[in-house]
Amino acid sequence: MATALACGLVRAQIVPAGRLSAADPAEPARQRFAEATGGKVFAESGPVVADADVLFLAVKPQALDEAAGVLATELGKQTPPPLIISILAGVSLARLTAALAVERIIRVMPNTPCLVGCGASGICSPAGLSKDDVALAQRLMSAVGLAVRVSESQMHALTALSGSGPAYVYQVIEALSDAGVREGLPRELATQLAAATVRGAAEMVLQTGEHPAALKDSVASPAGTTIAGLAALEEYGLRSALIAAVGRAAERSREMEEE
């Protein structure tokens, strides 16, 4: 996710590659980041923190305590500390503040389409954070897609919907492609058509502002092919499956906050 964000920011010409730096103890991860972004890489976080105006915290939630032990010392040397943007799922602002011993923190939940400038991110901030810091985070995340302000209580739902959502959509595209192949289309063409169809339908929702149900009805003519397909989706429970997926992911996000 850190690499996707960094690539997106460079691609949008918001951050030059020369101003990017990242720390990771794993050499393969450092190599991937450097090759993808053109940024500098380090095995330890010290040089990154010392040179940072904005620091994205992008470790696994389970690794926060270990990472924070080192970061808190480095952050304590900086006056003022950099703005910290955490993308850790299920980790509250209160826990981040306590772990890092700083208060200049924002929580963001992005998704991987940030890599191609089509992300969907949620931003929440503590009440005392400056308007300039909030605006900076909004500007950075808006450069790689949609960025919306939410309350912290809404972050679990946002994590489950847009944070995890691309994986659900990839399964939909894969299934549509499989269906096209079964009906006689070559695999590459079937996947291309499925992906373009999903993208086009999403743009219709975003650009028209119409309810998805109205757009669906506009495609489904009486006794036609679309309504026959929609009946099959109801029969096999696509709607229920997607609602359950978001619910299960939100439940897991809440569990992670307690771990």
Q: Is the dihedral of CA 112, 113, 116, 120 positive or negative?
A: negative
Thinking of the domain 165-258, which architecture would CATH place it in?
Orthogonal Bundle (1.10)
Q: CA 155, 23, 34, 81: dihedral to nearest 10 degrees?
A: 70
pLDDT tens for 105-157 read 999 999 999 888 899 999 999 998 999 999 999 999 999 999 999 999 999 99
Domains of the chain, by residue range, sit at 2-151, 165-258
Fold of the CATH domain 2-151: Rossmann fold (3.40.50)
- CA-nearest of 52, 121, 94 to 39 is 52
pLDDT tens for 32-65 read 999 999 999 999 999 999 989 999 999 988 889 8
Is-above-0.85 flag for pTM?
yes
Reduced to 3 states (helix: H, G, I; strand: E, B; else coil), residue 105 is strand
Please determine whether the domains at 2-151 and 165-258 fall in the same fold group of CATH: no
